[in-house]
Amino acid sequence: MAKRMRETPHKGKKTGSRKKKIAIIVTTVVLALVVAGGTAVYVLLHSNLFGGADMSEYGNSQEVQEKSVNILIVGTDNDTSRPEYADHELTDVIMVVNFNMEDGTAHILQIPRDTYVGDDIPSGKINAVFSRGENKDKHILNLVNYITTQYQLPIDHYITITMQTFIDAVDAIGGIEMNVPYDVTIVDEGLEIKAGQQTLSGQQAQCFVRSRELYAEGDLGRVKAQRLFIAAGMEKITKLSTNEIIKLVGLCYDKVETDLTGADILNYAQKASKLDLSQVEMYMVPGEPAYSKAGLSIYSVHKAELANLLNEKFRPHTEAVAAEALTCPEVANSSSWYDKNGNTVDDLLGGAKPGKDTISGKESSSSATSSGSSSGE
């Protein structure tokens, strides 16, 4: 475990201001860095954490973790409305956050849920790895093992949350204000979201970030929606009062699983004091839509571009890894890869479009309608 940095506290008003700043930063780093981040605040502020899996064989050395850490953020859902998936939690939100404590920057890697991992999983998609792997006690280790093996990317810590907790957390802080770029209609759930600046409820937010049928680009469109929501969520979190943060912590108590300890959290908080929204960058695993041998719609990784991205943004203190060392299958590489330049949170809040679809050349449509949510394999 990294040693806790000590600072001499200032007296009076500055002490309270510093404590609040740290609380906001901690919340922002992990809570708002992920679409379902509203629940991860508990992980970052509560010191009595239990039940986490042993991550010692998957992470970087302690020396490296003193400088930067990779945290896997996973949003899970057990869709009991679909019998074929009732016993298999799917992970529709998968992100790796690299927090560089030396320069105060953060980089987020969004992994599309349709990313192809091979035929060991019936669907071939990464969102089914969580519950269909060999580890039946700690499902998270199935996903961690795939990422560390296929991407050769160490994972130091993890946080898993449920989508229901995400809904509750968004409602607990009064919703998330954001500029929705198009009309959204979810017929089965009777939800209609008009384009424009507004405050999304928990249920509306959940549909906005999860329903892939809403977008012409399918899963890639969902990744873009998640990115917009992350930016709006980060902005909201930085404005929460201490009392609102405490309320959110209480709501999320015992509803997440993580290996992080209270000492870890405080240590990262102290070292995160320089982080601001212009220093948070979001990227997506480079690749393109394709079909597996079984004829299933998937997302194929572009290995060379992925290796370059990981080396530049997610391995700041370790040696570069060649593309040949990555074991993720590449079944297609015929299009310019998606999202080459990524986005900063400041860019998105300033009106920038999330990513760039260099595959189809399509712009976001002005409206979207779905007959239901998308959570299946």
Chain-centre distance for alpha carbon 196: 24
- d(CA 268, CA 272) in angstroms, rounded, equals 6
pLDDT at 177: 94
Q: Kindly report the three-state secondary structure assignment for every residue of 121-161.
A: CCCCEHHHHHHHCCCCCCCHHHHHHHHHHHCCCCCCEEEEE
Nearest to 141 by CA among 49, 46, 74: 74
- What is the helix, strand, coil percentage profile of the chain, to 5? 35, 20, 45
Burial of 256 (0-12, 13-18, 19+ CB in 10 A): buried
CATH superfamily, domain at 23-360: LCP protein (3.40.630.190)
pLDDT at 319: 94
Query: What residues contact 88, with CB distance under 8 A and at least 6 apart?
Result: 78, 128, 131, 132
Judge whether 75 and 39 are in contact, CB under 8 Å.
no
- d(CA 239, CA 242) in angstroms, rounded, equals 10
pLDDT at 367: 45
Mean pLDDT by 10-residue block, N- to C-terminus, for the chain (377 residues)? 43 51 47 41 42 85 92 77 58 90 88 91 89 80 94 94 86 91 73 88 87 64 85 82 69 74 62 69 91 89 94 94 96 73 83 61 42 47
